[in-house]
């Protein structure tokens, strides 16, 4: 574990490049490297977490406006290329026009279900809110499609450490019976760096599956 944390730190502090944006499945890059997808509700902190992982301020576009990320964005990590991180559009964004929501849902579901090189999805959950029904729908889909996933709590700096521990335990209990879920829930705070070294190691571990 220690050894993997150090290797992951080195990898993420080395070469990381934005590869491309895919607004549709036809635009996906060639499946020539393992992929780790970052999924979660709109505004949960997906793009911010990618910036924290890579130690870059604005590699992935983050913003207070929900619906910021509208395509699948691919980032190459490592030289030689070790794996790709995929920043996904958020789900559960109520204010978006219906046809846009439908388009995103198809893109997210089709990618997650059909991508051969996808090693694991990280499903981000706001630590202040815990699992919601929109999250459970995605987890159901991943369980049915047998896509391995892991829950990552975000924005841990916004609540007390005791509350963060309680939410982590509660979510871990709820996902225990889910077949495709990794049993360990990771608590993070991009703002303070809490849990980021462990998350880097978790990404590397998944890429090496
Ligand atoms: N305090 C704090 N704020 C965070 C953290 N992570 C994200 N945020 C804030 O939450 C807001 C949304 O972050 P994004 O990274 O854009 O969220 P996203 O999941 O990519 O959103 P969409 O692309 O719209 O789906 C931004 O204002 C971030 O600064 C965190 O760990 N701590
Ligand atoms: Mg985003």
pLDDT in tens, 125-160: 999 999 999 999 999 999 999 999 999 999 999 999
Q: Quick check: CB of 42 below 6 Å from ligand 1?
A: yes
Among 49, 59, 62, 64, residue to substitute to test ligand 1 (most atoms within 8 Å of Cβ): 62
The Cα–Cα gap between 108 and 61 comes to: 18
Q: What is the pLDDT of residues 1-16, one digit of tens each?
A: 789 999 999 999 999 9
Residue ranges making up the domain that contains 117: 2-207
User: Is 46 near ligand 1, meaning CB less than 6 Å away?
Assistant: yes
| Residues, CB-to-ion distance under 5 Å, ligand 2 | 46-47, 68-69
Of 59-68, 95-104, 113-122, 187-196, least confident by mean pLDDT is 95-104
Mean pLDDT (whole number) for 98-112: 87
The partner residues of 36 in beta bridges, in order of sequence, read 85, 120
Check if the beta carbon of residue 101 is closer than 8 Å to that of residue 93. yes
Distance (Å, whole) CA 176 – CA 2: 26
Q: In what order do the strands lie in the sheet with 35-40?
A: 16-22, 72-77, 83-87, 35-40, 118-126, 149-154, 186-187
Instruction: Please tell me the least confidently modeled range out of 11-25, 34-48, 54-68.
Output: 54-68
Gap between the Cα atoms of 188 and 157, Å rounded: 8
Task: Decide: 115 in ligand 1 pocket, CB within 6 A.
Answer: no
Separation in Å, CA 62 to CA 90, 117, 150, 201: 12, 26, 22, 23
Distance 61 CA to ligand 2 centre (A): 6
Which run of H or of E encompasses 126? strand 118-126
CATH (domain of 149): 3.40.50.300
Indicate if the pLDDT at residue 37 is higher than 80.
Answer: yes
CA distance 104 to 95: 13
Q: In which region does residue 78 sit, left (phi positive, over 0), alpha (psi from -120 to 50) or beta (all else)? A: left
Atom 8, ligand 1: residue with shortest CA distance: 45
Find the 63 Cα to ligand 1 centroid distance in Å.
6
76 pLDDT higher than 90 = yes
With cut-offs at 50, 70 and 90, classify the pLDDT of residue 103. confident
pTM of the predicted structure, to 2 decimals: 0.96
DSSP 23-88: SSGGGPPPS-S-EEEEEEBTTSSHHHHHHHHHT-SSSS---SSTT---SEEEEEETTTT-EEEEE-
Q: Whose CA is nearest to atom 9 of ligand 1?
A: 45
Asked if residue 34 has its Cβ within 6 Å of ligand 1, the reply is no
Structural domain count, the chain: 1
CA atoms of 168 and 58, how far apart (whole Å): 28
Question: What's the CA-to-centroid distance between 97 and ligand 1, angstroms?
Answer: 21
């Amino acid at each position: 574990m220690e050894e993997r944390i150090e290797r992951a730190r080195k990898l993420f502090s080395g070469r990381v490049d934005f590869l491309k944006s895919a607004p549709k499945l036809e635009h996906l890059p060639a499946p020539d490297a393992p992929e780790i997808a970052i999924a979660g509700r709109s505004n949960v902190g997906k793009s911010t977490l990618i910036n924290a992982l890579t130690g870059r301020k604005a590699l992935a576009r983050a913003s207070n406006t929900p619906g910021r990320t509208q395509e699948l964005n691919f980032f190459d990590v490592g030289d030689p290329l070790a794996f790709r991180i995929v920043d996904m559009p958020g789900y559960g964004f109520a204010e978006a026009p219906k046809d846009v929501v439908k388009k995103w849902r198809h893109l997210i579901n089709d990618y997650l279900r059909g991508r051969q090189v996808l090693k694991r999805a990280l499903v981000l959950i706001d630590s202040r809110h815990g699992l919601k029904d929109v999250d459970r729908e995605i987890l159901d889909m991943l369980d049915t499609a047998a896509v391995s996933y892991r829950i990552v709590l975000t924005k841990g700096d916004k609540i007390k450490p005791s509350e963060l521990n309680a939410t982590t335990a509660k979510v871990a209990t709820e996902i225990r019976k889910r077949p495709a879920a990794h049993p360990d829930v990771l608590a993070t705070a991009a703002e303070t760096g809490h849990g980021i070294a462990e998350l880097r190691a978790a990404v590397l571990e998944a890429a090496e599956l």
